[in-house]
Amino acid sequence: MALIATFGNIIAFLYNFLSFRSRAISAYSIFTCNLNFSDMLMGLYLYIIAFINLVYTGTYGLEDYSWRHSTLCTVAGIIATTSSESSALFVSLITLDRILAIRNPLSWRRLTKVGASLLSILSWVISLSLAVFPILPMDLSSFYDFYAQTSICIYLPLSVHRKSGWQYSVAVFVGFNFFLFLGILVGQFMILFEVIKSGRKVQSSGTLQRDIALAKSVCAVVVTDLFCWIPIGIIGMLTFSGIDVSPEVYAWIIVLVLPVNSALNPILYTLSAFLRERIRKTKKNCILPCQTNADSADPELTTTAIKED
């Protein structure tokens, strides 16, 4: 998971960044690059946990307290929280951009480069603020050792045992993310409705077809994000009914379920975009040779071939 999330997003980020030179920079490109960097941070977090796991194998019981209260554990928790929240925000912004693109394919009422850049900066500020807030020097006992609650340095509300800072964890990982993905889900239904309506009106518009293809990619990403956050939200809500989960389930959710969208996003976004670009170039390069061969062909042979077909 760390390998795919890190190097997959690095490759995707470099591809999208370098492609700025060959095509016009759009809001979609800016959001996608930021999403790649955000998901790459989740891979970095997983590498930190994997490295510590190897270092303390066989002696972790003696090092548990020092590890959980170390600076590296706190940094890992901040990285994971920033990555998860910024990823959700950028998927929301991409959904908004696709709604505007589908509804106004030839209109100026779309996100500009400046607007997309400002929204990206705002998303990073919000995500980093949510991650850093629990460790600010405040006289609030409810945030005591927030990232030291678990050995994997991120505190999700997935246990009936309430530790310090659980209210903040519920507010961010259950409440805030619930409203984000509810908005994303509503946005996807709007995109689907607009695609169906536009498809009935126009069948051969290149701009429309490109926007529809991007909308399909966004829909796939949203589905993976929902599969990622729905289990966390459901388990978090079940804990209020007294239903507890084992520590093993908690660890599996953190290591496999939480980063699944970070690992799949570069495949769903960049790989699909790369394949669409190759297909477009192939069709474009084929037009002139095909026309030339057709013009220079023997009319009699061509007519015979048509009759045989």
User: Residue 309, Cβ neighbours under 10 Å: how many?
Assistant: 5
The predicted pLDDT at position 308 comes to: 39
The residue with tokens 């509810």 is: 182
CA distance 172 to 178: 9
Q: Tens digit of pLDDT for each residue in 131-144?
A: 998 888 765 555 66
Pairwise CA distance, residues 59 & 25, whole Å: 51
Contact 32, 270 (CB under 8 A): yes
SS3 sequence, 246-280? CHHHHHHHHHHHCCHHHHHHHHHHHHHHHHHHHHH
Residue in 206, 192, 214 with CA at minimum distance from that of residue 275? 214
Burial of 303 (C-beta count, 10 Å sphere; 0-12/13-18/19+): exposed
Return d(Cα 298, Cα 4) in angstroms, integer.
53
Under a CB-based contact definition with an 8 Å cutoff, are residues 154 and 81 in contact?
yes
**pLDDT score of 302:** 37
CA gap 27, 236 in Å, rounded: 34
Length in residues, the chain? 309
Residue position matching structure tokens 């699909």? 272
Over residues 191-204, the pLDDT tens digits come to 777 776 765 555 54
d(CA 209, CA 28): 16
Q: Give the integer Cα–Cα distance in Å for 47 and 211.
A: 36
Question: In sequence order, what DSSP letters do the residues of 126-167 get, joined into one string?
Answer: HHHHHHHGGGSS-S-GGGTTGGGSSTTS---S-SSS--TTHH
CA dist., res. 64 & res. 61, Å (int): 6
So where are the chain's domains? 2-277
Q: Give the pLDDT score at 261.
A: 73
Helices 71-103 and 177-201, axial angle in degrees (round to 10): 30
Q: What is the pLDDT of residue 303?
A: 38
pLDDT in tens, the chain (309 residues): 888 888 888 888 887 777 666 566 788 888 888 988 898 898 899 999 999 999 998 898 899 999 999 999 999 999 999 998 998 899 889 888 888 887 776 556 678 888 899 999 999 999 999 999 888 876 555 566 788 888 888 887 776 677 777 888 888 888 888 888 888 888 877 877 777 676 555 554 555 566 566 666 666 666 776 777 777 777 777 777 777 777 777 777 777 777 777 777 777 666 666 665 666 666 666 654 544 444 444 444 333 333 333
pLDDT of 78? 94
List pLDDT tens digits, range 79-135.
999 998 998 899 889 888 888 887 776 556 678 888 899 999 999 999 999 999 888
Nearest-10 Cα torsion for 33, 37, 39, 41: 180
Whether 120 and 27 have beta carbons less than 8 Å apart is answered as no
CATH number assigned to the domain covering 2-277: 1.20.1070.10
Q: Decide: residue 206, CB within 10 A, 0-12 exposed, 13-18 middle, 19+ buried.
A: exposed
For CA atoms 187, 190, 196, 197, give the dihedral sign. negative
Closest CA to 72 of 103, 45, 43, 108: 45
d(CA 141, CA 220): 42
Q: Other C-beta atoms within 10 Å of 3: how many?
A: 12
